[in-house]
Amino acid sequence: MQDDKTVVPLPNAQLSKPVDKNIVVGSTANLIQEVTDKISEMTLIDKTDIVLLQEAQKFLLETYMDVPQFRPMVKKVTSVLTDGNFPTVDSKYWQCKVEAEVHFNELSRGMLKYERALIDIEEIDYKIKSIDDMLFNDAPTKEKFDPELIKFDKARLVIKRKEYLFELKQLEKTLKYRIEEVTDWYKISERLKPDMKSKTYDEHVVEAHFRKLENNVKGAMESGDASRIHSAHDQLNTFKRLLMSAKEEEKK
């Protein structure tokens, strides 16, 4: 059995320069406080709303830190790898691979999105600095500009930067739990591996599908639905016929 602290290779983010992680992670508590302060200025929000929201700040911070985004281990093994859909050890093992691949692909896409957002923030910082240079440092410029209008541009850039930082906070959490998904499916597959019968995907499919069709017949019989019973028996009998034909061909 492999150690639970599985190392998963991740795409390397190639950035133009190192970015201070504190800029990305920031303080979620400060973000919540900022939202509370801003929302208190709205006319429909009364004092009671603000007091309750302030009381919930610790709760919200804990939620960001400790509520997983995807299925916990117990749901993976009971809601995904059900005996009805994956009746054999081998079929459960191969489904683990499918699930891990899906989440690793999303992890890779998330890393690229993360990298792109960092570059966008870098660009926004450059634009803000350029505006400040134009307004306060008498920087040379080829074009005339209205100093009041350009202040609005800067204000919008500042808000856009905050939006990016908020999205990065959410994305960082998603990436954390994507990694957990990949490693959870790996752990489950390692537990299943010693009891597997087949070595390849094709080898396990025949038995797994046959067992699933048998389960479908059983479920149909229990339901009492004549149409469902007929359909389930038809599929199972068709598969049996194909298996018999394949065996006859092998004997020739």
For residues 206-219, average pLDDT: 82
CA distances in angstroms from 220 to 174, 206, 215, 236, listed in the order given = 40, 21, 9, 12
237 Cβ contact partners less than 8 Å away, ≥ 6 residues apart: none
**DSSP classification of residue 43:** T
The pLDDT of residue 252 is 66
Percent of the chain whose pLDDT exceeds 70 = 85
Torsion of CA 42, 46, 49, 55, to 10 degrees: 90
Task: Supply the pTM of this predicted model.
Answer: 0.70
For residues 126-151, average pLDDT: 81
pLDDT per residue over 154-198, tens digit each? 999 999 999 999 899 899 999 999 999 999 999 999 999 999 988
Percent of the chain whose pLDDT exceeds 90 = 39
Give the Cα separation of 114 and 14 in Å (integer).
Answer: 11
Residue 117's pLDDT band (cuts 50, 70, 90): very high
The pLDDT of residue 15 is 35
> Identity (one letter) of the amino acid at 50?
I
User: Most confidently modeled of 18-27, 130-139, 157-166, 204-213?
Assistant: 157-166
Residue 36's pLDDT band (cuts 50, 70, 90): confident
* Helix or strand holding residue 15 (H, E): none
For residues 236-240, average pLDDT: 81
Place of tokens 């281990």: 73
**DSSP classification of residue 64:** H
Residue 199's pLDDT band (cuts 50, 70, 90): confident
Residue 141's pLDDT band (cuts 50, 70, 90): low
For residues 68-83, average pLDDT: 91
Tokens linked to 22: 């504190």
Give the Cα separation of 162 and 167 in Å (integer).
Answer: 9
pLDDT higher than 60, residue 10? no
**DSSP classification of residue 40:** T
| CA 123 from centroid of its chain's CA atoms | 27
Q: What residue spans of the chain are helical by DSSP H?
A: 21-25, 28-39, 47-55, 57-66, 73-75, 89-136, 147-192, 201-223, 226-251
